[in-house]
Structure 1
Amino acid sequence: MKKLSLLLLILGSALGLSAQTAPCCHTDAVTEFAGLANREDFRMAHKDPLPYTYQGTAGTEVSFHAPDGKTAYGFLFKAKKPTDKYLFVYQEWYGLNDYVKKESEKLYNDLGGTVNVLAVDMYDKVVATNREEAAKAMQSVPRERLKAIMEAARDYAGKSAQIVTLGWCFGGAIALQSALINGDRNLGCVMYYGMPEKDVNALKQLHGPVLGLFANKDKGINPQVVDEFEQNMQKAGKTLTVKRYDAEHAFANPSNPIYNSEATKDAYSHTLTFLKKQFKL
């Protein structure tokens, strides 16, 4: 959803990734993304979220052990019947706020309650309410911590888990990095305008296809970045389906005053079709 997600997205690129221990990604991607957050035009392009309070009752907060010795957190919508199918949902740059919980519940319901939907908290319970707080929160999380949280989510799901990852902006990049970390447990990945992994060798380790949903008016994850992603995925021998919209970055974020309902509706339709196919629902 929000652009600064790019920073962490690239941070995610810098997190070592492979089937189990992910191949190492580029630190220059981290620098690139961090640079975006330092640009005033980039920050100002992110409108502060509209007020919203989550009122659902199906989800519950969960915690799990991370390999760095710390506790990781998430918000879980547990499948109605026991299953190893998990959808990992990754926040945009404001953190795991009530909007992310609402979107996670929508995904859970639209998948018929047949999949465990886990919204993973990448900020350790820090939630930003404006662009300045979001930029600070995103830049303050060490790359090693981001990697540890993604590994913790994978381990929480279990060794027999079947996982699809999904995220917006910052979370879109993290979703791809998480997919790499998940190794052969990964079934697929949905990226909403997230910074792609640029290391072809890292992409070669990816399991499952990717659905990329991008905005043509995005000044950060611009059409040239998307073109390069398509080329790199082809070089890696991986499946990527790209949908491009005549919209701004964060077009699918309902907290965004410039929310694009038509683009969001179409993107969500493709998302559901992709998820149902990968989970064989």
Structure 2
Amino acid sequence: MPDEMPISRRAFTVTTLAAGFALSTQPVAAETITTDAKDLTAGEVKIPVKDGTVPAYRAAPNKGGPFPTVLVVQEIFGVHEHIKDICRRLAKLGYLAIAPELYARQGDVSKLERDGIMKVVSKVPDSQVMGDLDATVAWAKKDGNGDTAKLGITGFCWGGRIVWLYAAHSKELKAGVAWYGRLTAAGKATELQPKFPIDLAGDLAAPVLGLYGEKDTGIPVKDVEAMRAALKKANKPSEIVLYPDAPHAFYADYRPSYKKDAAEDGWTRLQAWFKKNGVA
């Protein structure tokens, strides 16, 4: 019977990762950083989840292990070339870095303009994302040569919010680094995305370093200060850095928003945060 078909046969619209950069991010900026795969094992893998498989990009040193493991959570543009490059950057530092395609059931955003992307993203349940990240950790431990006792997560934009949520969800996570992820609902909480980081400040089970820009028009400074206050009230060892001249997406070297000084400082802080909190 058609209704008895396995959900994996009908619900996954993305079965392989997109090549290159997402259409809506073109043209790619001259400052774009390209990290080679020399001395790395890098490429696409399949992550078993409860209703099928999710494609993911992973990169790790090609010798040794098991390696400290970092989940890399995509921007709204999905797992395109920038996210893959970040995985390789982390692998060069000695990590197993893995980025699952978290919209796999809802749609391929790589060929869409922003309005179309937002329609797909709005259909992605937070509960699904948490489950897929858990499945990615399980894959890393079993098949990826990962040391998940040293587990970190980092994410950008859409993925920055997910970092905060996962730090409240996972009992295995050691630390997270959230790059300019939305902190408050701003009237946009939904049934599928019911809570935001500020709602979960007291529930964080792992410390999060938040990296934000003062000139981010989508995440006002008042939201950042409200999150700082919520963390202080909850007595949580998380921190937020606010860069005075940085806009949203200041780490995205392939976009005009890139701010080299803030990006490099944030990357240095990420490494120190992971080392301080048991991920390295």
Per the shorter chain, which TM-score range? 0.7 to 0.9
Q: What residue in structure 2 maps to residue 189 of structure 1? A: 176
Higher RCO, Cα 8 Å, sep 6+: 1
Distance verdict in 2 for CA 1:271–1:179, change over 3 Å: same
Distance (whole Å) between structure 1 residues aligned to residue 214 and residue 78 of structure 2: 25
Deviations 1:149-190 (A, max 9, x none): 12222332349532111011101011122222221x111110
Q: What residue in structure 2 maps to residue 102 of structure 1? A: 85
Q: What residue in structure 1 maps to residue 27 of structure 2? A: 50
Task: Give the counterpart letter for 2:89 in structure 1.
Answer: K
Residue 121 (structure 1) shift: 1.5
Contact 1:84 1:161 in 2 (8 A): no
Query: Computing the radius of gyration over CA atoms, which structure comes out larger, 1 or 2?
Result: 2
Deviations 1:61-98 (A, max 9, x none): 1112223x232221111343222621111111101001
Task: Give the counterpart letter for 1:72 in structure 2.
Answer: V
Distance (whole Å) between structure 2 residues aligned to residue 191 and residue 142 of structure 1: 19
**Of residues 98, 106, 116 in structure 2, which corresponds to 1:118?**
98
Distance (whole Å) between structure 2 residues aligned to residue 161 and residue 207 of structure 1: 14
**TM-score w.r.t. structure 2 length?**
0.73
Residue 106 (structure 1) shift: 1.1
Distance (whole Å) between structure 1 residues aligned to residue 221 and residue 157 of structure 2: 15
Residue 55 (structure 1) shift: 7.9
Q: What residue in structure 1 maps to residue 193 of structure 2? A: none
Residue 148 (structure 1) shift: 2.5
Query: How many percent identity over aligned positions?
Result: 26
Distance (whole Å) between structure 1 residues aligned to residue 209 and residue 35 of structure 2: 30
Distance (whole Å) between structure 2 residues aligned to residue 93 and residue 217 of structure 1: 20
Aligned residue pairs total: 228
Contact 2:174 2:278 in 1 (8 A): yes
Residue 101 (structure 1) shift: 0.5
Residue 280 (structure 1) shift: 6.1
Calculate the aligned-residue CA RMSD, in Å: 2.5
- Unmatched segments (≥5 aa) in structure 1: 1-46
- Unmatched segments (≥5 aa) in structure 2: 1-23, 143-147, 184-196
Q: Which has the higher helix share?
A: 1
Distance verdict in 2 for CA 1:234–1:157, change over 3 Å: farther
